[in-house]
Structure 1
């Protein structure tokens, strides 16, 4: 959903609804990601893992901003949205397959099973 909204921003002049859809998708992903990380990572390591995650995501954001600005300057303001959305759309199925319910269940510590609703 986020990839489609991002790619569509390049085609549409009024982008408020698309930004809202993208924001909702990113917010939902963040809540799920933090919940999953909290469940999978042992308490004694959670602070360090969260710090590494934030460092990598902040660095990736800076690189993405640089790449998007360079692309916009070279090709036009719509192209970063087209390419960023396309990358998100193409990576989505691979990430969903990599992060399947069975893989999450296998990674859970013993005595912390996945409920039937989540599987």
Structure 2
């Protein structure tokens, strides 16, 4: 799983690009109604995914675990859906996707916290 940091960072970069395009679209149309979805996309999709990737690059032993792979897929589910889910909720199209994305996102962060504690000696 040496490629795991790459995939976290690559997904984060792609979601940042999409978030920037979404922001430009809102600026051009002067319609910022969905800005909460845009913000969640950028924070969860870009910032957290890149932080996860950098951590796994700094602590390669953590990246070699099965839990790290589970972490990637759970975090990916949250990152890919939270912006859309929040945008749907904001526009009155239902909250179910935001709820699923939020659960995936918090589970991903819980896995990250556990991983940091488990591999604390690597950063001490």
User: TM-score, normalized by length of structure 1?
Assistant: 0.40
Larger Rg: 1
- Output the TM-score relative to the length of structure 2: 0.39
Higher helix share: 2
